Amino acid sequence: MSDNKGGISMLTLDQRLAALESAVSTTATAHTNAIASIITAICNLPETDVSQLEKDLTELKSLPTQGVEPTLYGNLIDLFISRIEHARK
């Protein structure tokens, strides 16, 4: 993106925003994938009440969320629930 002489200060505003967007997106994707993997692992433990986990996640969809895009939030919860359904197979 830039040379070592100017560092990030030599980037244009658009380049800085693109770098920030990429960093945030990468972090969010890594977190989402990690949570999905953890859900799958938890569902495979014999002592896990999978139905309760699914119920709890479903209830999260109805909680008020401030400053969050509701459709995206719901889609993420649905993704986690789908991991439970996948683990049951």
- Per-residue pLDDT of 38-86, as tens digits, reads 999 999 999 999 999 999 999 999 888 889 899 999 999 999 999 999 8
pLDDT at 21 over 90: yes
Whole-number pLDDT of residue 2? 46
Q: Domain for residue 5, yes or no?
A: no
Q: Domain for residue 1, yes or no?
A: no
Domain count, the chain: 1
Q: How buried is residue 35: exposed, middle or buried, by Cβ count under 10 Å (0-12/13-18/19+)?
A: middle
What is the distance between the alpha carbons of residues 60 and 21, in angstroms, rounded to a whole number?
27
Q: Domain for residue 3, yes or no?
A: no
What is the distance between the alpha carbons of residues 10 and 33, in angstroms, rounded to a whole number?
34
Whole-number pLDDT of residue 8? 65
Q: How buried is residue 19: exposed, middle or buried, by Cβ count under 10 Å (0-12/13-18/19+)?
A: middle
Q: Domain for residue 83, yes or no?
A: yes
Task: Give the structural domain span for 25.
Answer: 10-88
Q: Domain for residue 80, yes or no?
A: yes
